[in-house]
Amino acid sequence: MASVFDQIAACVEQGKTDAATNIPAGSRGQPGVVELVATALGAGESPEAVLKHGLLAGMQVVGRKFAANEVFIPEVLISARAMRAGLGALRPAFTGRPMPQRGVFVIGTVRGDMHDIGKNLVGMILEGAGWQVVDLGIDCAADAFTAAVQQRPGCVVGLSALLTTTMLHMRDTIAAIRASSPDTVILVGGAPVSAAFAEEIGASGYAADPVAAIELLDRLVPAGGHA
């Protein structure tokens, strides 16, 4: 029998959100991502392990198949929906931990970019680490970030991009934020982004994943020192 992690990954790949969903056809009544995440947590698995070995493992397979033209946008969207449902089921395990308040973290996906799974994950895990997260959503123009920073002086900003084309908007967005709030701490992340690119465009730092973002913020914004 496949491990609960393999079952979660397979459900993400197939888009099997929960027991009520009939995707794939004929699967109604069988556990989906939501039930399997609860099973894994109930069995004592950590939320980090469920995320890494279940949800993200499934999405990686989808990404590989998408790149190889084995699946197409409709299938990817169905998987993304299952992934979102899984993150929703996992959220209380991350955010329910008592943590000291760290400040305000404004996050959004940059202009032209519709990918939000990674952004949502970073926001959720930072919330669990004590940050008050303000999520601006997807396809955010620079002025959405500047307005958010002006409303919340001292906040930290996180920019996410998943496309080599949209990551270029990070440069303008950072310039616009710094024009009105020069000292703003700005993190960038997303699959095509690198530390070298972050430095080139004037970001305060690059984080490859949510854990790296927490570690970076601990260095850049010591507890009690901001927002």
Q: Which residues bind ligand B1M (CB under 6 A)?
A: 56, 59, 62-63, 66-67, 73, 76-77, 80, 107, 112-119, 121-122, 158-160, 162-164, 187-192, 207, 209-210, 213
Shortest distance (Å) from residue 216 CB to ligand B1M: 9
Shortest distance (Å) from residue 121 CB to ligand B1M: 5
Nearer to ligand B1M by Cβ, of 28 and 137: the residue is 137
Nearer to ligand B1M by Cβ, of 147 and 168: the residue is 168
The C-alpha torsion from 7 through 118 and 24 to 3, rounded to 10°, is: 0
Distance CA 120, CA 126 (A): 10
The C-alpha torsion from 77 through 206 and 88 to 28, rounded to 10°, is: 30
Helix (H/G/I), strand (E/B), else coil: 110: strand
Shortest distance (Å) from residue 137 CB to ligand B1M: 11
Shortest distance (Å) from residue 29 CB to ligand B1M: 27
Q: Which is it for strands 103-110 and 186-189: parallel, antiparallel or unpaired?
A: unpaired
Nearer to ligand B1M by Cβ, of 40 and 83: the residue is 83
Instruction: Output phi, psi for 40, to 5 deg.
Output: -65, -45
Shortest distance (Å) from residue 131 CB to ligand B1M: 11
Nearer to ligand B1M by Cβ, of 28 and 192: the residue is 192
Instruction: Retrieve residue 75's tokens.
Output: 């299938």
Distance CA 174, CA 182 (A): 10
Nearer to ligand B1M by Cβ, of 209 and 215: the residue is 209
Shortest distance (Å) from residue 1 CB to ligand B1M: 27
Nearer to ligand B1M by Cβ, of 7 and 119: the residue is 119
Instruction: Retrieve residue 150's tokens.
Output: 């002006």
Contact (Cβ atoms closer than 8 angstroms) between residue 202 and residue 171: yes
